Chain A
Amino acid sequence: MNAPLNPDLLQPSAASTEPGVNFAYLDERTKRMIRRAILKAVAIPGYQVPFGSREMPLPYGWGTGGIQVTASVIGPDDTLKVIDQGSDDTVNAVNIRRFFQRTTGVPVTTRTTEASLIQTRHRIPETPLREGQVIVYQVPVPEPMQRLEPRETETRTLHALGEYGLMHVKLYEDIARYGHIATTYDYPVMVNGRYLMAPSPIPKFDNPKMHMNPALQLFGAGREKRIYAVPPYTAVESLGFDDHPFEVQRWDQPCALCGATDSFLDEIITDDQGTRLHVCSDSDHCQERQAERTVAAGAPL
């Protein structure tokens, strides 16, 4: 767990790209169409731009939106990192990384600091992002109000009017029933004071990282055919009330591997007695910290 990835997997494949397949799979006209949608999304932070999402060789719901966005912005000079649940070595992350290795031949990395382009599902890396980096989120349901109002014709109007009472009432009802807001992931945010936005199913622990982030944040929803964006240094506010402000999860124990007390922890069941171990969900962050601790302890690397 959270051990460094086998370095062989990060080498460019011998035949750097698949024959007969365009760079990053998509044809250039499709990339241009998607880039136009991205530009519009950047110009209107948090607004969902419809785009002509294509059928990809991976199933809808498995990251096709993020893959199309990544394929449209990736260039030969990029270094790519792909994570799922914060980890570089979950099967889905491996699969998507392999897809781009096969179709672009660009270098890949697990280190957040080395990557120019990061595709993610369900997490934002613990290591703060910097200017010039692009993070691409895979989005299953781009419409934050879909579970409250499934008709797109209605939610579109609500966005146009900036009428978000529906969501506030939902959060209020949580408080009335449970004493606090019972949304733990995909926690709705207000972008640039204008559009209500689904941050994708990241834990609300990660929401504060979106606020005034120096990196460009792009969101791709392939099945629902929408792209949206948060440009660098944009205000992203998680909804809350004066007497029930937004708050994030905390753990009462540190990571069992690196001792971190400020990272999002996954709970692992280690035997059939229900013994539990808490470890960082961000595998790169955990490795870096473990390496630092080893150095600090004077042990040989």
Chain B
Amino acid sequence: MYVAVKGGEAAILNSYELLARQRRGDLLEPELSVNQIRQQMKLAVDRVMTEGSVYDPELAALAIKQAAGDLVEAIFLLRAYRATLPRLGSTLPLRTEQMQPDRRISATFKDLPGGQILGPTYDYTQRLLDFTLLANGSAGPAPEQAQAEVPTPAPRVVDLLNQEGLIETHPVPAGDPAPPDLTREPLRFPAGRATRLQNLARGDEGFLLAMAYSTQRGYSHTHPFVGEVRLGQVAVELEPEELDFALSIGDIEITECEMVNQFGGSKTEPPQFTRGYGLAFGHSERKAMAMSLVDRALRAEELGEAVEAPAQMAEFVLSHSDSLEASGFVQHLKLPHYVDFQSELELVRRMRAEVAQATPPAEEQERA
């Protein structure tokens, strides 16, 4: 009469098997290698590295393969991997102004030192499905030409604006205190900007995009201009305690966005431009731009602006930006809730019984 809910362990093991089959797909098709993902799905790898908070294209590609292309799941895998890794040291701040950009766009100046570099972008591709790719054909990129150009430095737009004193600066605070590490300490409120930026850097791209978009549609007013978006390799430097000079431990590719916003000034500050900042691993422009808009919106309180829109509310934004937390808690509703539901059943029945007792049946009412 009744089939017991049993065999949880066997069911779990079976689900692993089914999942592996689902991931592999048709066995007649060659299996995708981690290296292929790393080479040919670069933008997915970059997103997983950014939100997974680990710069390791190979492990990110592995996570994408293991997650069958579910990037949020891949980010989860990478984060769980990084959680117990030891901390070996802190690097020096990245010097992005020394980057040799592969792409560099400013919307505020027609031309500027270092120039505008379009670089690789989908921006002007006209988004027509390319059926040659479907036919397994590939025009293939032309072999790279040896570049004889002498690298030109590209100073940051905000530094150029600063020469006139038109933009706010963020001098290093006295004593240069180490920023809190959000991966070791819980998020507390009010959260300083260093904490907020860490949270946004790890935050879900879709969430930040929607938050940033809301600021453009009247939910907070920030009047943004892209001072600069740049993409390129930058050296990571470590200064070990026993040495008094910095060692470069390698280059990483990053996307950096400086958003320039109007600011009317206050009693203590003359009118000037304010900044919103975005940084992501690899080529992640949408993320970096969204992050810079949200960063600026979250500075409302600091700049004496009214906090009225969701994107300006630090508790709202920072508590809901993490895809691991959001995905886990939304999906935990799949777990059994028999006991709570039983309690609610009992309550609803009791309340219905009380209502029925209080109101006589409709027929009797009519007769009366």
A61 cross-chain contacts in B, Cβ below 8 A: 325, 328-332
Residue B347 is within 8 A (CB to CB) of chain A in the complex: yes
- Tell me, in angstroms, the Cα distance from A66 to B325 when the chains sit together: 15
Tell me the bound Cα distance from A91 to B336 in angstroms. Answer: 9
Say yes or no: A1 contacts B2, CB within 8 Å. yes
The answer to whether B12 touches A184 (Cβ under 8 A) is no
Contact of A57 among B9, B80, B330, B340 (CB under 8 A): B80
A223 touches B329 (CB 8 A): yes
Would you list which residues of chain A between 1 and 34 have a CB under 8 Å from chain B? 1, 3, 6, 9, 22, 25-27, 30
Nearest B residue to A121, CB-CB = B335
> A62 to B335, Cβ gap below 8 A?
yes
- Distance (Å) between the CB of B79 and the closest chain A CB? 4
Q: Once the chains bind, are A152 and B189 in contact (CB under 8 Å)?
A: yes
- In the complex, which of the residues B1, B7, B336 has the most CB atoms of chain A within 10 Å of its own CB atom? B336
A contacts with B: majority SS: loop
Residues from chain A with a CB closer than 8 A to the CB of B83 are 54-56
Residue of chain B at shortest CB distance from A250: B346
B335 touches A1 (CB 8 A): no
Interface residues of B in 324-368 (CB under 8 A from A): 324-325, 327-332, 335-340, 342-347, 351, 354
Which residue of chain A is the closest to B329 with respect to CB atoms? A61
CB–CB B345/A267 < 8 A: yes
Cα–Cα distance between A223 and B324 once the two chains are bound (Å): 9
Task: Given the known inter-chain contacts A56-B80, A59-B328, A249-B346, please indicate yes or no for A85 contacting B338, CB distance below 8 A.
Answer: yes
B223 within 8 A of partner (CB) = no
A89 to chain B, nearest CB (A): 5
B2 x A277 contact (CB < 8 A): yes
B-chain residues with CB within 8 Å of residue A1 when the two chains form the complex: 2, 4-6
Minimum Cβ distance to chain A for residue B20 (Å): 17
Residue of A nearest to B6 (CB): A89
Q: How far is the CA of A62 from the CA of B333 in the complex (A)?
A: 9
Q: Which residues of B contact A91 (CB under 8 A)?
A: 8, 11-12, 336
Q: Which residues of B contact A185 (CB under 8 A)?
A: 339-340, 343-344
Q: Does A52 contact B (CB under 8 A)?
A: yes
Segment touching A, from B169-177, B180-188, B239-247, B254-262: B180-188
Q: Which one, B11, B80, B315, B342, contacts A150 given CB within 8 A?
A: B315
CA A86 to CA B62, docked complex, whole Å: 38
- Count, chain B residues at interface, CB 8 A: 49
Q: If A1-B2, A91-B8 touch, does A52 touch B185 (CB 8 Å cutoff)?
A: yes
Residue of B4, B7, B331, B339 near A86 (CB, 8 A) is: B339
**Size band of the A side of the interface?**
35 or more
- Which of B76, B80, B185, B186 has most A Cβ within 10 Å? B186
Q: Does chain A have a CB within 8 A of B30? A: no
Given the complex of chains A and B, what is the CA–CA distance between A204 and B338 in angstroms? 14
Q: Is the CB of B80 within 8 A of A55?
A: yes
Query: What residue of chain A has the Cβ atom nearest to residue B78's Cβ?
Result: A55
A123 at the B interface (CB under 8 A): yes
- Evaluate contact between B186 and A50: CB separation under 8 angstroms: yes
Among candidates B7, B183, B339, B351, residue contacting A85 with C-beta atoms closer than 8 Å:
B339
The smallest beta-carbon distance between A135 and chain B, in angstroms, is 16
What residue in chain A is nearest B73 (Cβ atoms)?
A59
Cβ of B145 < 8 Å from any Cβ of A?
no
Do B346 and A184 touch across chains, with their CB atoms under 8 A apart?
Answer: yes
Residues of chain A touching chain B, judged by Cβ–Cβ distance below 8 Å, are: 1, 3, 6, 9, 22, 25-27, 30, 50-57, 59-62, 64, 84-86, 89-95, 98, 121-123, 140, 150-153, 178-179, 182, 184-186, 201-205, 223, 225-226, 249, 251, 264-268, 270-271, 277, 281
Query: Measuring CB to CB, which residues of chain B are less than 8 angstroms from any residue of chain A?
Result: 1-2, 4-9, 11-12, 76, 79-80, 82-84, 86, 183-190, 315, 319, 324-325, 327-332, 335-340, 342-347, 351, 354
**Lowest 3 CB-CB distances: which A-B pairs, in order?**
A60-B328, A61-B332, A184-B343
Question: 21 A-B pairs, CB-CB below 8 angstroms?
Answer: A26-B84, A51-B186, A52-B183, A52-B185, A55-B82, A55-B324, A61-B328, A89-B7, A89-B8, A91-B336, A94-B9, A152-B315, A184-B340, A184-B343, A184-B344, A184-B347, A185-B344, A201-B337, A201-B340, A249-B343, A265-B342
